[in-house]
Amino acid sequence: MSIELGSTVPNFTAQATSGQTINLAELAGKQVVLYFYPKDNTPGCTTEGQAFRDLYREFEDAGALVFGVSKDSLRTHENFKQKQAFPFELISDSDESLCRLFDVIRLKQMYGKQYEGIERSTFVIDAQGVLRHEWRKVKVPGHVDQVLEAVRALA
């Protein structure tokens, strides 16, 4: 079961960097940006995270919280976050529960082998917990600007 645009996102709890436990219900009143990415410390994921980092103040000003989500461990996330000076938390979704909720697991292929991995995707949840925007098969250049524009339009 995945979430449809315009529907309320079911509450979830997830472990994140800085010892945080993210509970969606506790974030009511704020917009939430969840960006799903395949892997810490890879070129595309680093570039995407840096773009969110560089515009983070603007997201804050628009009343939005940003969270990066991948299947990597909290330890890997902490290193990635520190190395890139990300001002936002990274959620470890090692059991793929969030990935499945947002339907971002796809059959991928690398070096002729098939495997299941995260399709780069971003979601905006409004202050009432309703899914308002989704981007799938994200291409990194210019993407974060589009997300910020959508967040500002909801603010």
Q: Helix/strand/coil (H, E, C) string of the chain? A: CCCCCCCECCCCEEEECCCCEEEHHHHCCCEEEEEECCCCCCHHHHHHHHHHHHCHHHHHHCCEEEEEEECCCHHHHHHHHHHHCCCCEEEECCCCHHHHHCCCEEEEEECCEEEEEECCEEEEECCCCEEEEEECCCCCCCHHHHHHHHHHHHC
Give residue 117's pLDDT: 87
Give residue 119's pLDDT: 94
129's tokens: 């917990």
Catalytic residues: 45
CA Rg value for the chain: 14
Give residue 1's pLDDT: 57
pTM metric for this prediction: 0.95
Q: At what angle do helices 43-54 and 74-84 cross, to 10 degrees?
A: 60
CB 130 within 8 A of CB 6: yes
Give residue 31's pLDDT: 97
Per-residue tens of pLDDT for the chain, all 155 residues: 578 899 999 999 999 999 999 999 999 999 999 999 999 999 999 999 999 999 999 999 999 999 999 999 999 999 999 999 999 999 999 999 999 999 999 888 878 888 888 999 999 999 999 999 999 999 999 999 999 999 999 98
Structural domains in the chain, sorted by start: 13-154 (3.40.30.10)
Give residue 10's pLDDT: 95
Give residue 3's pLDDT: 86
